[in-house]
Chain A
């Protein structure tokens, strides 16, 4: 017995109800009966001419090369685009998307976080002025069809066998990572090949690269050619660390600054303590109007944002400076640290930024992260 939607075969998850067997592993996406074939999603044909695109910035020669390789490789097998944070992963797949759209094939773009879906929808709608780019996520589910569909990973359950190309952004992040249900649903949604975009591939992907079932393309260089900001590591005990952070914040008073804190409770406390000294915003999963706070932070030139790893991926703020409080916390893994450090210096106008890891004790992880970033910088073409 196999679930037609999440590909589950574990008998423990099957339950016999009054109308037959169903799978309980993916039941939160509505019951999928075992005997019934999943109804294929009914989607309109791709519009003619929707493949025309214009990029905001022209691609660098290096980017162009990777993007061509990617467009060629995704026809025959799955592709992993392993690029450092801020290398312009989205721009690299534009060519592949356009090629598929030209042949009248559906393309899906799945992202773990809701905020990023909305942000990316705007960006891609700008790149593809003639195509209908639809964002599908919690709160935006009235319209589910388009030429290019951008959705959260959870919304993929709507699209059985719908996509000829599925792009999975950050597959090593929560909630996709380690979730068998979402893995199953993603493979049901896609009848063609997949492109994975990440800066930090996990073990599973490394294993697939070794098998040869996954094409591995790497880009260690940001479009502006400047090296990645290398994090500084400061080890202090709690109270000195707080004052060190404060001093650091005052030292960068003319730029937007982000302080990452491991826990939600800690973020609230940190935001309160910092607000005694300087104006400070906070954003956690419990903040009711997250989008508004993020928007405000993005627009302001010199404010401080306290947040949890909620904002760890997919956020671009011009000239932002990054501090990570308690970078030795077990909450963070290496991927999370690299992603947080990668928030800095993403814009061409402001290619540099400071990254500070504050640790309460010596941490191998923070050092491994520092080393990894330095290695990536060494791999990049030494243009500086």
Chain B
């Protein structure tokens, strides 16, 4: 079997590899992804994320999204499915919006393809009104996205929802989505596969409107 990214033959080196591992990536490629449990709050809503958005992750995401390499879909949540299924039991996954023209071009919704195997109900509830990709915008412009996304008409969301996205850079999209939802009616969680290292709170001071809850710090406070 070949690694999906580096094309090398996957060597079955260890016992674990030979018996249990079904990782579509080889160990070299996988070890370049920085696995980290990241937890903080965005506008008071708890976020969980499992990778740091580094160069290796970014290039894989680009190959998946921009080069439309559908085969990479199972790579992102490999080894996390059980955990996510437990964490978000009873929740419905609400996908972050992607522009309709890009979806048509790709032939698949990139997030749906990633999250469908979890077995949780998936709803694509938002729609984007513009085609400009966010990566070409500056931080201030990104805030503007609040006016550019909206809930699709005629969609009724269940009580428990988890907003899912591939990566969080400034959090603008997620905050925009939160502003469209009625927090009293819904119990909301956020899951992003990766978070930009500059946005991870325990590294740098955080924008004021994203409350910091570093898990260990909050546990310490409770004990006091």
B-facing mask of A9-41, CB < 8 A → 1, else 0? 000100101110010110111110000000000
Selected from A17, A24, A27, A29, the residue in CB contact (under 8 A) with B108 is A17
Closest to A30 in B: B67
Contacts A12-B2, A30-B66 given: A24-B107 contact, CB under 8 Å? no
Q: Which B residues, 44 to 87, have Cβ-Cβ distances below 8 Å to chain A?
A: 63, 66-71
CA distance A19 to B103 in the complex (A): 12
Q: How large is the interface on B (under 10, 10 to 19, 20 to 34, 35 or more residues)?
A: 10 to 19
Q: Which B residues, 104 to 133, have Cβ-Cβ distances below 8 Å to chain A?
A: 107-108, 113
Selected from B2, B4, B71, the residue in CB contact (under 8 A) with A17 is B71
Of residues A15, A24, A28, A29, which shows the largest number of chain B Cβ atoms within 10 Å of its Cβ? Answer: A24
For A31, list chain B residues within 8 Å (CB): 67-69
Contacts A12-B2, A27-B63, A28-B63 given: A18-B108 contact, CB under 8 Å? yes
Closest to B2 in A: A12
CA distance A17 to B110 in the complex (A): 12
Closest to B73 in A: A17
Separation in Å of the B74 CB from the closest CB of chain A?
12
For A29, list chain B residues within 8 Å (CB): 67
Closest to A25 in B: B7
CA distance A12 to B107 in the complex (A): 22
CA distance A15 to B73 in the complex (A): 12
Q: Is the CB of B71 within 8 A of A19?
A: no
For A18, list chain B residues within 8 Å (CB): 70, 107-108, 113
B-facing mask of A227-266, CB < 8 A → 1, else 0? 0000000000000000000000000000000000000000
For B2, list chain A residues within 8 Å (CB): 12
CA distance A19 to B70 in the complex (A): 10
Separation in Å of the A138 CB from the closest CB of chain B?
14
Closest to B70 in A: A17
Q: Is the CB of A17 within 8 A of B63?
A: no
For B107, list chain A residues within 8 Å (CB): 17-19
For A28, list chain B residues within 8 Å (CB): 63, 67
Q: Which B residues, 4 to 20, have Cβ-Cβ distances below 8 Å to chain A?
A: 4, 7
Contacts A19-B107, A19-B108 given: A24-B71 contact, CB under 8 Å? yes
Of residues A12, A25, A27, A29, which shows the largest number of chain B Cβ atoms within 10 Å of its Cβ? Answer: A27
For B7, list chain A residues within 8 Å (CB): 25
CA distance A169 to B68 in the complex (A): 31
CA distance A28 to B7 in the complex (A): 12
CA distance A15 to B24 in the complex (A): 14
Closest to B7 in A: A25
CA distance A12 to B9 in the complex (A): 12
CA distance A22 to B113 in the complex (A): 17
Q: Is the CB of A15 within 8 A of B70?
A: yes
For B113, list chain A residues within 8 Å (CB): 18
Separation in Å of the A89 CB from the closest CB of chain B?
32
CA distance A12 to B66 in the complex (A): 22
For A24, list chain B residues within 8 Å (CB): 4, 69, 71
CA distance A252 to B67 in the complex (A): 51
Closest to A27 in B: B69
For A25, list chain B residues within 8 Å (CB): 7
CA distance A30 to B105 in the complex (A): 11
CA distance A25 to B63 in the complex (A): 12
CA distance A28 to B69 in the complex (A): 8
For A15, list chain B residues within 8 Å (CB): 70-71
Contacts A17-B107, A18-B108, A19-B107 given: A30-B71 contact, CB under 8 Å? no
Closest to A24 in B: B71
B-facing mask of A27-57, CB < 8 A → 1, else 0? 1111100000000000000000000000000
For B108, list chain A residues within 8 Å (CB): 17-19
CA distance A12 to B7 in the complex (A): 10
Closest to A19 in B: B107
For A12, list chain B residues within 8 Å (CB): 2
For B63, list chain A residues within 8 Å (CB): 27-28
For B70, list chain A residues within 8 Å (CB): 15, 17-18, 22
CA distance A30 to B108 in the complex (A): 15
CA distance A25 to B71 in the complex (A): 12
Separation in Å of the B28 CB from the closest CB of chain A?
18
Separation in Å of the A26 CB from the closest CB of chain B?
9
For A27, list chain B residues within 8 Å (CB): 63, 67-69
CA distance A102 to B63 in the complex (A): 41
For A17, list chain B residues within 8 Å (CB): 68, 70-71, 107-108
Separation in Å of the A181 CB from the closest CB of chain B?
10
For A30, list chain B residues within 8 Å (CB): 66-68
B-facing mask of A111-146, CB < 8 A → 1, else 0? 000000000000000000000000000000000000
Closest to B107 in A: A19
Separation in Å of the A233 CB from the closest CB of chain B?
36
For B71, list chain A residues within 8 Å (CB): 15, 17, 24
For B4, list chain A residues within 8 Å (CB): 24
**9 contacts across the A-B interface (CB closer than 8 A):** A15-B70, A15-B71, A17-B108, A18-B113, A25-B7, A28-B63, A28-B67, A31-B68, A31-B69
Partner-B contacts on A (CB < 8 A): 12, 15, 17-19, 22, 24-25, 27-31
7 more contacts with CB within 8 A, not counting A22-B68, A28-B63, are A12-B2, A15-B70, A15-B71, A18-B113, A19-B108, A27-B69, A30-B67
The 9 closest A-B pairs by CB, nearest first: A19-B107, A17-B70, A31-B68, A15-B71, A27-B69, A18-B108, A30-B67, A18-B107, A27-B67
